[in-house]
Structure 1
Amino acid sequence: MGFSPSLKYCLKTSLVSLLLGICQPSNALPHDSGPFGWASAAGNDESSTRSPLRGDSAFLGVVQNEVNPDNSAAVPESEYKLAPGQAADADLGIPFTFDNVAHPQPVRGDLGSTDPGPRTYAYDRLNPSTFAPPGSDSGEVTQGKWPLGLSHNRILPGHAGWSRQENTDVLPGATTMAGVDMKLAPWAYRELHWHQANEWSIILNGSVRVQAMNEDGQTFTDDLTAGDVWYFPSGVPHSLQALDEGAEFMLVFDQGDFSDGGTGLITEMFLRNPKEVLSKNFQAPLSDFDDLPQDQLYIFNGTPAPKDVKEQTIQGPGGVLSGDQSYTYHLSKQEAYETPGGSIKIIDPVSFPIAKMFSAALVTIKPGAMREIHWHGTSDEWGFFLAGQARVSIYEAPSAGASIDFSAGDISYVKATASHYIENTGVEDVVFLEMLQAPRFSDISVGQWLKLTPRQIVKDTLHLPDSLLDNLSPNKQYVVQGNRNLTAVADGSGIA
Structure 2
Amino acid sequence: MAPFMNAALERQNPSANRPQVTDAGSSPNYKYPFAFSRTTYYSGGWVRQVNVNDFAIAATVAGVQMKLIRGGIRELHFHVSSEWAYVIQGTCRITAVDDQARFFVEDVSAGDVWLFPVGIPHSIQGLGSDGCFFLLAFNDGQFDDLQTFQLTDWLRHVPLDVLAKNFQVRPETFDNLPQDKLYIFASELPRPLAQEKEMAAEGTGEVPQTYAYFASTQPANATRWGGTAKIIDKNNFPVTTIAAAIITLKPGALRELHWHPNADEWNYCVTGKGRMGIFNADLSATTVDIEAGDVGYVPKITPHYVENTGTNDLVFLEVFPTDIYQGVSLATWLAHTPTRLVNEHLNTGERFLADIPKTKALIRPWNRTWYPSYSINKQSVSQFGSEQDQNK
Choose between structure 1 and 2: higher strand proportion: 2
Change (3 A) 1:466 1:488: farther
Q: Deviations over 1:234-266 (max 9, x none)?
A: 111111111142111111100001010001100
- Three-state SS of the structure 1 residue aligned to 2:127 is strand
> Which residue does the alignment assign to 1:284?
169
Which consecutive residues of structure 1, in runs of 5 or more, have no partner in the other structure?
A: 1-102, 104-115, 491-496
Q: 2:311 aligns with which of 427, 441, 456?
A: 427
Matched, 1:450 2:334: yes
> Which residue does the alignment assign to 2:180?
295
Which consecutive residues of structure 2, in runs of 5 or more, have no partner in the other structure?
A: 376-392
* Counterpart code for 1:299: I
Q: Deviations over 1:322-351 (max 9, x none)?
A: 3xx211111111012310111111111001
- Three-state SS of the structure 2 residue aligned to 1:288 is helix
- Aligned-pair identity (%): 37
- Three-state SS of the structure 2 residue aligned to 1:361 is strand
CA distance in 1, matches of 2:49, 2:352: 44
CA distance in 2, matches of 1:484, 1:387: 24
CA distance in 2, matches of 1:200, 1:180: 10
- Three-state SS of the structure 1 residue aligned to 2:146 is helix
Change (3 A) 1:438 1:289: closer
Instruction: Note the C-alpha offset of 1:487.
Output: 7.7
- Structure ranking higher on relative contact order (CA contacts 8 Å, 6+ apart): 2
Q: 1:409 aligns with which of 293, 296, 301?
A: 293
| Pairs within 5 Å for 1:31-70 | none
Normalising by structure 2, we get a TM-score of: 0.91
How many residues of Structure 1 are paired with residues of Structure 2 in the alignment? 371
> Which residue does the alignment assign to 2:143?
258
> Which residue does the alignment assign to 2:31?
145
Residues 262 and 326 in structure 2, CA contact (< 8 A), matched pair in contact too: no
Q: Deviations over 1:400-423 (max 9, x none)?
A: 101000001101100011111000
Matched, 1:354 2:239: yes
Instruction: Note the C-alpha offset of 1:117.
Output: 4.5
Change (3 A) 1:233 1:125: same
Change (3 A) 1:467 1:482: farther
Normalising by structure 1, we get a TM-score of: 0.72
Instruction: Note the C-alpha offset of 1:141.
Output: 2.2
Residues 94 and 105 in structure 2, CA contact (< 8 A), matched pair in contact too: yes
What root-mean-square deviation, in Å, do the aligned CA atoms of Structure 1 and Structure 2 show?
A: 1.6
Residues 99 and 120 in structure 2, CA contact (< 8 A), matched pair in contact too: yes
| Pairs within 5 Å for 1:98-113 | 103=1
Instruction: Note the C-alpha offset of 1:483.
Output: 4.3
Q: Deviations over 1:2-46 (max 9, x none)?
A: xxxxxxxxxxxxxxxxxxxxxxxxxxxxxxxxxxxxxxxxxxxxx
CA distance in 1, matches of 2:37, 2:262: 29
> Which residue does the alignment assign to 1:199?
83
> Which residue does the alignment assign to 2:215?
331
| Pairs within 5 Å for 1:96-245 | 103=1, 116-157=2-43, 160-245=44-129
Q: Deviations over 1:270-311 (max 9, x none)?
A: 111121222222222222122110112000111211233343
CA distance in 2, matches of 1:162, 1:312: 27
* Counterpart code for 1:236: I
* Counterpart code for 2:13: N
Q: Quick check: which has more Rg, 1 or 2?
A: 1
Change (3 A) 1:484 1:147: farther
